[in-house]
Amino acid sequence: MYILLGLHLCFCFLAIDNINIVKFHYHV
């Protein structure tokens, strides 16, 4: 149960990082 929650949080953080990278590239 905790493992699934951890994976979900990891995927959420990865998605946020990907969005920030895309914003950074478009901003530059």
Whole-structure pTM over 0.75, yes or no? no
Q: Dihedral sign, CA of 9, 7, 12, 24?
A: positive
DSSP string, 1-28: -HHHHHHHHHHHHHHHHHHHHHHHHHH-
Structure confidence by residue, pLDDT tens digits, 6-24: 888 878 788 888 888 888 8
Report pLDDT for 8: 83
User: So what's the pLDDT on residue 28?
Assistant: 64
Give the residue with greater pLDDT, 27 vs 16.
16
Length of the chain: 28
pLDDT classification of 26: cutoffs 50, 70, 90: confident
Structure tokens at 25: 């590239």
- Domain ranges in the chain are 1-27
Radius of gyration of the chain (CA): 12
